[in-house]
Amino acid sequence: MKHERKQAERDIILNPLGKTIVSYFVDVKRKLPCWQTWKDNLRRWAVMGKIEPANINVKTTRKTWESWLLASYPNRITEITLSQGHTTVTSIKHYLNVAFTKDDKRDMKDYIEGWME
């Protein structure tokens, strides 16, 4: 059985691009998709991108963000894990050692640059 989260609240640290995107979501006038629709959309987009969709779910977005941050800012593990609501052990076990190439890190730079200022 999965344990309930222990952290009552957390600060989500976003870079300037993330802050802009979140403001768009806040201003959306129509209802956002439920988690089942989000999962279906992610899997459909994966197929379109020739990515195996079997292990893609609603947590994929957050997990991707965390792995990108840890790959780019390994010296900021405490801030990253607190922001994500994980323990340091969980982050190290699941996200720190993702084998990103130099090209991967270059491609993710536009999305994460400025995360910690």
More reliable by pLDDT, 10 or 104: 104
Q: What is the pLDDT of residue 42?
A: 93
* pLDDT tens, position by position, 42-88: 999 999 999 999 989 888 888 888 888 888 888 888 888 877 777 77
Q: What is the pLDDT of residue 2?
A: 59
E strands along the chain, which residues?
none
pLDDT at 17 over 80: yes
pLDDT at 7 over 80: no
pTM over cut 0.85:
no
CA 37 → CA 7, 28, 47, 54, 69, distances in Å?
28, 17, 15, 15, 26
Contacts with 4 (C-beta within 8 Å, 6 or more apart), sequence order: none
Structural contact between residues 19 and 114, judged by C-beta atoms closer than 8 angstroms:
no
pLDDT at 5 over 80: no
Domain ranges of the chain: 14-56, 59-112
**Chain position carrying tokens 């988690």:** 35
* 86 vs 31: CA distance, rounded Å: 29
